[in-house]
Amino acid sequence: MIREGHLETYDLTLTVRSPLFIGSGKSYPKKEYVYLQPELTRSPTPKVMLLDENRFFSFLVERGLIDAYESFILGPQTDLFRFLSSECHLSLREMQALSRCVIDAADALDEKHSLKEIYAFVRNSGGRAYVPGSSVKGALRTVILTDMVLKEPEHHSLPDTSRGFPESKYLNTLKLKTDKFGSTEGNAVNDIMRGLYLSDSLPVDDSSMMLAGKIDADIYGRTHRINLCRECLKPGTLLHFKLTLDQSVIKGRITVDSLMQSIQAFDDFYTDAWVNFFDAPARAAELSYHSCLILGGGAGFPTKTLIYPYLDETAGVREVASILNHAFKKHQHTGDVQLGISPRTAKYAQFWNTLYPYGLCEVKIT
């Protein structure tokens, strides 16, 4: 830890325990990446090659292949490797010269049946994967709020008109801006999280990237494969951040010890209220939720909201089922009330025939 006046700066390290997906909002259609069988790369695993768009289109222009590429894009053929080798007469080494990166496809794609669109991980301007500090700060905000709510002895209720969690009651406490009556305004100026800063992670090497399929499981452990593929960080990847606490703002109300306590309080509640409600599907990895944040895409509804800790379990199920039924009428979430849990499916990432919950990351702060 480094202290400079009222600023305390720490190293925050996340160890990825299950596939982590932070989406960029972009995707790679099946015609825009090269699927490489293991025998092509002399690798034990299939790979996916993502092309550098500028180099690739410069190549097409220089070789007069724009019309051929347009015919490929508009035609029924979906194998970019075949187009590059047969139409463009490129060797694998020449393809690699046009690539941006090569990542492990594992068992997320199946060339014999149908390749899938790949949802892309966030990358910086240099094309390197990283985890935004805002993603981690959002997860910390959730665990801090959960810990605050769980420490209150009474049950709560949501006003019929709001359908929202009153987080300003817990976080907007700085009293830096008040209304005409002298009451603290519920806005970001008064938010105690203003005193907590997180850098983006250091860039991550492409050797730490993988593709993961998506599996839904019901409360009995029965699984259903979803036709979706995500670019994720592999289990075992280390992510390095700088955490700064501005004690002139938070005045000791947030410390490293209190953060770790809040993380564990959330983990314990999440395990009891959510994880233990579901039977583990076959091939599910055995993971500890001790001192872990759960973040990113696919992590699931209970990791993003405060409804369950804020309400008692019965009221929480009714509220969540009502929200989901309003948003997704065809899925008939009103039936979740009888099951006793909502949403009624747990989300898993598949990596080499093993199922992992998304986004489990062990936290260490030094």
pLDDT in tens, 29-81: 989 999 998 888 787 888 999 999 999 999 999 999 999 999 999 999 888 99
pLDDT of residue 67: 95
Q: What is the CA radius of gyration of the chain?
A: 24
> Across the chain, what does the average pLDDT equal?
88
241 inside domain = no
Q: Give the total number of structural domains in the chain.
A: 2
Mean pLDDT of 91-114: 85
Q: In the chain, what is the straight-line distance between the N-terminal and C-terminal CA atoms, in Å?
A: 6
Half-sphere exposure of 21 (CA within 13 A, CB side): 29
Residue 232 forms part of a structural domain: no
- On whether residue 234 sits in a domain, the answer given is no
Residues 111 and 35 in one domain: yes
Structural domain includes residue 18: no
Per-residue exposure over 153-187, b if at least 16 CB sit within 10 Å of its own CB, e if not = eeebebeeeeeebebeebbbebeeeeeeeeebebe
List pLDDT tens digits, range 260-319. Answer: 999 999 999 999 989 999 999 999 999 999 999 999 999 988 898 888 888 877 888 888
Same domain, 101 and 168: no
pLDDT score, position 171: 67
pLDDT band at 159 (very low <50, low <70, confident <90, very high): low
Are 193 and 53 contained in the same domain? no
Q: Given a cut of 50, is residue 161 above it in pLDDT? A: no
What pLDDT band is residue 181 in, cutting at 50, 70 and 90?
A: very low
Both 254 and 307 in a single domain? yes
- Residues 191 and 278 grouped into a single domain: yes
pLDDT of 127 above 80: yes
Instruction: Tell me, yes or no, whether 180 lies in a domain.
Output: yes
Q: What pairing do the DSSP bridges indicate for beta strands 223-233 and 118-121?
A: parallel
Percent of the chain with pLDDT over 70: 89
What is the separation of C-alpha 172 from the centre of its chain, rounded to a whole number of angstroms? 27
Positive or negative torsion for Cα 251, 253, 254, 256: positive
Provide the sign of the torsion angle of the four alpha carbons 26, 31, 32, 34, taken in this order: positive
Q: What local confidence, expressed as pLDDT, does residue 167 receive?
A: 66
Within this chain, do residues 98 and 150 fall inside the same structural domain, yes or no? Answer: no
Same-domain check for residues 253 and 287: yes
Examine the domain organization and report whether 51 and 108 are in the same domain: yes
* 162 pLDDT tier (thresholds 50, 70, 90): low
Is residue 123 situated within a structural domain? no
Least confident of 111-125, 194-208, 224-238: 111-125
Q: Which of 67, 89, 116 is the last residue of a domain?
A: 116
**The domain boundary residue, chosen from 61, 92, 116:** 116
106 shares a domain with 6? no
Residue 207: inside a domain: no
158 and 37 in a single domain? The answer is: no
Residues 87 and 142 in one domain: no
The domain of 57 spans 30-116
Q: How many angstroms separate the Cα of 311 from the Cα of each of 146, 150, 259, 334?
A: 11, 10, 23, 18
pTM: 0.88
Q: Predicted confidence band at 166 (pLDDT cuts at 50, 70, 90)?
A: low
Band of the pLDDT at 128, cuts 50, 70, 90? very high
pLDDT of residue 203: 97
pLDDT at 158: 61
> What residue has token string 């194998």?
79
Phi–psi pair at 241, nearest 5 degrees: -130, 165
pLDDT of 180 over the 80 cut: no
Does residue 191 carry a pLDDT above 50?
yes
> Are residue 73 and residue 156 in the same domain, yes or no?
no
Q: What percent of the chain has pLDDT over 90?
A: 60
